[in-house]
A and B are shown apart, each in its own frame.
Chain A
Amino acid sequence: LCVKDNRLSLLDLDEICDEIGINRHVIRFTSTVRFDDPGPSVKTAEKLKTLLAEKLQGWSITISDGNISVESVLIKVEGDDDSTKSIYVSWTNQDEDLGSYILGLLQSMVQ
């Protein structure tokens, strides 16, 4: 929240950096979880979205082309239909709590 042109404005982090003239340094973490789930990777992604929607009530969860997004957390499923899937979980440093929670959830799911 900042005062801009004598008005209160709500800016995101990139807009704040532009306003004060600094180059933001974005830190992102990515970890991989292996999941033995035969079938198309899009189906695996849909299962994951259902699980996340159950655990993250109140959060906006979107899915597009099998990629799931929650804030800056991106979840991507890759793998052939008949093989183990690789689930890539990626998040920015600002979303560490959310990213590590989702990673922990997926790690416990596959154990």
Chain B
Amino acid sequence: LTLEPAAGAGAALHWSALDVPALVAALAREGVGEARVEAGADGCIVHLPRHDTLVHVERHATHVFCEGRADVRQALRRALAACLPHI
């Protein structure tokens, strides 16, 4: 199996800041619950212990550290897309 370079563009372009309470609600709707939010110096960290995942949220960037489960990652992508303006 090989992967060919795609001819078209990739996923959506997101902008603005992330609404963290909206993200937690969107994650719960996706079945990714029990989120704990901790404030930090430059943003916050959303901890999802049941899924071994940390979401580091800054004003213009979100970095997801997860253990590679595709279903959890896709749920996170849908939740993030629901909380950020995008085209």
- Residue ranges of A at the interface with B (Cβ–Cβ < 8 Å): 13, 16-17, 22-33, 55-59, 93-98, 100-101, 103-104, 107
Contact = CB atoms under 8 A, between A and B. Distances in A.
B6 A26 contact: no
B14 A93 contact: yes
Interface of B: 1-6, 9-18, 59-68, 70, 73, 76-77, 80, 84
Contacts, number: 89
B77 A58 contact: no
Nearest to A98: B3
B36 to A, nearest CB: 20
27 contacts: A13-B13, A17-B15, A23-B15, A25-B15, A25-B17, A25-B60, A26-B60, A27-B61, A27-B62, A27-B63, A28-B62, A29-B64, A29-B76, A30-B63, A32-B68, A56-B3, A58-B4, A58-B5, A93-B10, A94-B10, A96-B77, A97-B10, A98-B3, A100-B70, A100-B73, A104-B70, A107-B68
Contacts of A30: 63-66
A31 B68 contact: yes
A25 B61 contact: yes
